[in-house]
Amino acid sequence: MDKPGKKKTNIVKSFDYALRGLVYAVKTQRNMRIHLITAVLVIIVSLFLNLSRTEMIAIIFAISLVLITEILNTSSELMVNLITDRHHPLAKIIKDMSAGAVLFSSICAILVGYMVFIKQEVLEVLERSIVIEKISSFPPYISAAIIFLVIVISLFIKSLKGENISIIGGMPSIHTAVAFSLASIAYLISGNIYVCLITALLAGLVGQARISAGVHNIWEVIAGALIGIFLTVIIFQTIAF
């Protein structure tokens, strides 16, 4: 018969092993880090939209589903690699099915997010902003000036890191910064959430293209996106008041 103290120790060790597994997944899997960053951003946005309890449960469940399937996908890939180190059709099928589970859960999460966020109450909050009404009347050269500032500040940040001042490679991604700045400008001028979604998707594709081409890593692209968004919003808010 096990002693109570021993059971308690075993439980603590079990939690410790589980935590190590999560940390390993985050440290070694780029997609896991992307999912976590996205989850944090979604939850932060949710806090400002006065969502109902049911809607918050749906959001948290969708996020959890994506993270769980990503962890299982990583586990299955490691298991296959452990069993065999040569190419095998069944091994490929197992990895493809695991990746398919992640893709399916991500699509479900996107659908949940769309149904929760894109509703009349949220659209009214986003489209009836006094700031957006003021910004929509600004002359076109303001946008050009903002893009110029985004490029200059991004180059300045590159120089602080001791890197060659170039728009190719390095921290941050200037292409991504400009793309997300343009997406932010398009939304702020139009005040239309659907324009925001389309331009944000296009900006995201720019960032993905930089990663796929091997010019930037994920963190350089994220840094560029944040610089483009924050600078645009801050400058527009400053001159709107």
Helix or strand run (H / E) with residue 53? helix 53-83
Radius of gyration of the chain (CA): 22
Q: b/e for 77-113, b at 16 or more Cβ within 10 A?
A: beebeeeeeeeeeebeebeeebbebbeebbeebeebb
The one-letter amino acid at 72 = L
d(CA 199, CA 191) in angstroms, rounded, equals: 13
Query: What is the residue-wise DSSP string for 221-238?
Result: HHHHHHHHHHHHHHHHHH
d(CA 94, CA 84) in angstroms, rounded, equals: 12
For residues 137 and 218, is the Cβ–Cβ distance under 8 A?
no
Q: Is 226 helix (H, G, I), strand (E, B) or coil?
A: helix
d(CA 28, CA 208) in angstroms, rounded, equals: 19
Residues designated as active site? 70
